[in-house]
């Protein structure tokens, strides 16, 4: 856990003002930004293919996922188990809006849209939202996710009584 706090502080030390709707990459090389985008594409394809091993492999071993309305999910194996329990995703798109960082730490701010088909429902649910990720550069040049949080833009609906 202490590593995550240090990583977050280090990223904050590298932050530049966010520009809405633009990928900056000012503190990163174009190759680093391209690598980050490739990992994001791999993640999106894995979600649609229900390939939870590949999905989990875009996270560092000690990553923390902060899903909405649930406790933090800690570690790659737990993230894979979380994904396996997630309702079936029939459509998924993500957009990296801002990618920046310095040295071996980066952050990604983006948006997503997805359609899920929870068991026992009569119609699919369309969702859209945003995410923030902290990435760590690996020795092989990939930028894996160390901290990930996402949440919906849709209003919370009360549970049926």
Give residue-wise pLDDT tens across range 87-139: 989 999 999 999 999 999 999 999 999 999 988 888 999 999 999 999 999 99
Model confidence at 17: pLDDT above 50 = no
Quick: pLDDT tens for 73-90. 999 999 999 999 999 899
pLDDT at 156: 79
The model's pTM is: 0.80
H/E element, 43: helix 30-49
What the block records as the tokens of 53 is: 């091993």
Instruction: Please provide the CATH number assigned to the domain covering 2-7+20-152.
Output: 3.10.450.50
Spatial distance between the Cα atoms of 6 and 21, rounded to a whole number of angstroms = 28
């Amino acid at each position: 856990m202490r590593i995550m706090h240090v990583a977050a502080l280090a990223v904050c030390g590298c932050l530049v003002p966010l520009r809405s709707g633009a990928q900056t990459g000012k503190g990163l090389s174009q190759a680093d930004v391209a690598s980050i985008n490739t990992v994001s594409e791999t993640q999106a394809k894995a979600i649609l293919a229900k390939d939870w091993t590949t999905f989990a492999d875009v996270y560092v071993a000690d990553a923390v996922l902060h899903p909405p309305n649930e406790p933090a999910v800690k570690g790659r194996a737990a993230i894979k188990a979380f994904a396996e329990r997630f309702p079936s995703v029939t459509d998924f798109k993500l957009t990296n809006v801002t990618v920046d960082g310095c040295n071996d730490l980066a952050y990604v701010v983006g948006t997503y849209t997805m359609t899920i088909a929870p068991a026992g429902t009569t119609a699919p649910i369309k969702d859209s939202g945003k995410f923030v990720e902290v990435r760590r550069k690996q020795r092989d040049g990939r930028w894996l996710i160390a901290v990930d949080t996402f949440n919906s833009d849709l209003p919370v609906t009360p549970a049926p009584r």
